[in-house]
Chain A
Amino acid sequence: MTEPHSLSAESLTLAYGDRTIVEQLDLRVPPGRITAIVGANGCGKSTLLRALARLISPRSGQVVLDGKALHGRPTKEIARTLGLLPQAPIAPEGIVVADLVGRGRHPHQKMLARFTAHDYEVVAQSLDATGITEFADRSVDELSGGQRQRVWIAMALAQQTDILLLDEPTTFLDLAHQVEVLDLLTDLNRDRGTTIAMVLHDMNLAARYADHLFAMRDGRIVASGPPSEVMTSELIRDVFDLDALVVPDPVSGTPIVLPRGRHHILIPESEEPRVIHS
């Protein structure tokens, strides 16, 4: 395998009008790993992801892909290396699954050129990998939320980028489909070495599936590292202003957050177990 592509932000400042969302942020997405960006609502994590995918131009600083700033480079060239699945992508009314997945081939196609045998092959592989081959000729409108999310991931796969960014890929999905999507992304990471960086809401799933966490608050990164190291009750307090117990997940061994609200507390803080053995 060739050198994995690298994506980083250098003293990145992002703003909408007068409102600064992200200020002077430095970050390097670990190549070949799964990264989760977590934080409270409005902390700037989605904005950061959009900037990494060149959808917002920085107020100052830059996003660097393979040593060169994104800004000003041909967008089609970038699209062969860097993909993004937005939070609420739009499917054209009535479009069939295979056609939609085929749109992922756009950055690899010459203007006016027809679909090649290779394009069809990639589309078929993407359908296979996401387990939606049986829906190939069905209209996307007829699918359930979980199936539809797999279609979008298949489209991102068809783009064949080494880096894939996802903005909350599990929102709108029930628990089973959330796990299914994250398993699928893990397969992708392990089988193809795809670098994955995603914004996730669910801390427990983030801790379980990510190799690396970035925790954000007010447009800054407050913690960065493997979940087992950075996910502590202090971090949860820093990021969410929430008291919580962090214990090892008996299923995966990764940290799990048990929030302490104002109600339903059985164990007083002094009697908290240090470790749970499974």
Chain B
Amino acid sequence: MSVQTVVAGARVRRRHRGTVLAVLGILIVVVFAVTLMVGKSFYGPAEVFRVILGETVPGASFTVGELRLPRATMAVLAGFAFGIAGVTFQTMLRNPLASPDIIGISSGASVAAVFGIIVLALDETAVSFLALGGALVTAAAIYLLSHRGGFAGTRLILIGIGVAAMLDSAVTYILSRAAAWDLQTAMQWLTGSLNGATWAGVLPLALASAVLVPLVLSQGRGLGMLRLGDDSAAVLGVNVPRTRVLLMVSAVALLAFATAACGPIAFVAFMAGPIASRIIGPGASPLLSAGLVGALLVLTADLAGQFAFDSRYPVGVITGALGAPYLVFLLIRINRSGGSI
């Protein structure tokens, strides 16, 4: 009977998805735990666990509770936000290049942040809010510029890449006029760094995620329908403009909050989606898995940046080193298959 074939096939795929999500979750917990334990001084699992439960452990309470725990939490939240935001755009525009860090939204945040640090000499919190505003304004501008006589994904990507180039040159210009001590702060922000992550910095991102992540996930099925093309989605009863605006606004906001918290950690939004889609399998919603892959990427890259080399590197350097070759690979593959962007 064919019903059984269909049900059995669906069960196999659902089980596969469950396994993938579980494995990603376990890996995140493991790397998270390692991040809490290792460092200049090592603390065992027992000590770490007591700190998490709120007990006072000499030494560990400060190192783990105030330095490593907020850092690892920030890594997970930011990575998750980058991953979900990236894959939302990539899926919606049916193009792996459509990630918000490629189409200029992260650059918008960078310009605002660098302007805040160097020209306005703002403190950390103010810079975060300015970066948030920069990302949102840039996203709105790209959307409006590309919306002449209807929505077109490719046009949005091309305009976004152009806007990114313009904004990046603005960043370079501001940096060239900066005093040496500001320059260091600005560069650290631009690279994307979890150094000096604090609970105060984690809080806005955590609150934003609590609201925005469920919102994006609730649109998961609509996003899946948009992959059939706008016409088919509309014919199958998806309110295409509403779904698209909801997804875009919440994805941009997520990305903006994460960028404001720890800088535009290079290529995480760009890489998480395609990796997640590959392992979760086609036809499934890649949202949750991309979030988990993003979190795992940032956590692992931060750990590697701190301890894998002779000197310490900020997390953005590691993800950048991974992401740039991937971008080249992707462009070659698109070119080979004779496709356009």
Contacts and interface: CB of A to CB of B under 8 A. Distances in A.
Contact of B232 (A78, A90, A99, A133): A90
A107 interface: yes
A83 B235 contact: yes
B334 to A, nearest CB: 13
Interface string A74-88: 011111101110100
Nearest to A128: B2
Which residue, of B12, B149, B239, B283, has the highest number of chain A Cβ atoms within 10 A?
B283
Interface in A86-108: 86, 89-96, 98-100, 102-104, 106-107
B236 A159 contact: yes
A124 B282 contact: no
B237 A75 contact: yes
B5 to A, nearest CB: 5
- Determine the interface band of chain B, counting residues with CB < 8 A from chain A: 20 to 34
A81 B199 CA distance: 53
B118 to A, nearest CB: 43
Contacts of B310: none
A33 interface: no
A94 B237 contact: no
A107 to B, nearest CB: 4
B236 A103 contact: yes
Contacts of B232: 86, 89-90
Contacts of B218: 111-112
Contacts of A128: 2
A75 B234 contact: yes
A82 B236 CA distance: 9
Given A75-B239, A96-B283, A112-B218, A55 B234 contact: yes
A23 to B, nearest CB: 21
Interface in B202-232: 218, 221, 224-225, 227-229, 231-232
B221 A111 contact: yes
A125 B2 CA distance: 8
A17 interface: yes
A227 B221 CA distance: 43
Contact of B229 (A75, A77, A90): A90
A91 B232 CA distance: 10
A84 B237 CA distance: 11
B236 A98 contact: no
Contacts of A127: 2, 6
A112 B221 CA distance: 8
A99 B7 contact: no
A115 interface: yes
A77 B94 CA distance: 27
A159 B234 CA distance: 13
Contact of B235 (A17, A55, A98): A55
B244 interface: no
A52 B41 CA distance: 70
B332 interface: no
B155 interface: no
A91 B227 CA distance: 7
A106 B225 contact: yes
A40 interface: no
B3 A75 contact: no
Contacts of B1: 124
B43 to A, nearest CB: 42
Contacts of B2: 124-125, 127-128, 133, 136
A92 B282 contact: yes
A95 B283 contact: yes
18 contacts: A75-B239, A79-B237, A83-B235, A90-B94, A90-B232, A91-B228, A98-B10, A100-B283, A103-B224, A103-B225, A103-B236, A106-B238, A112-B218, A120-B3, A124-B3, A125-B2, A137-B5, A137-B9
Interface of A: 17, 50, 53-55, 75-80, 82-84, 86, 89-96, 98-100, 102-104, 106-107, 109, 111-112, 115, 120-121, 123-125, 127-128, 133, 136-137, 139, 159
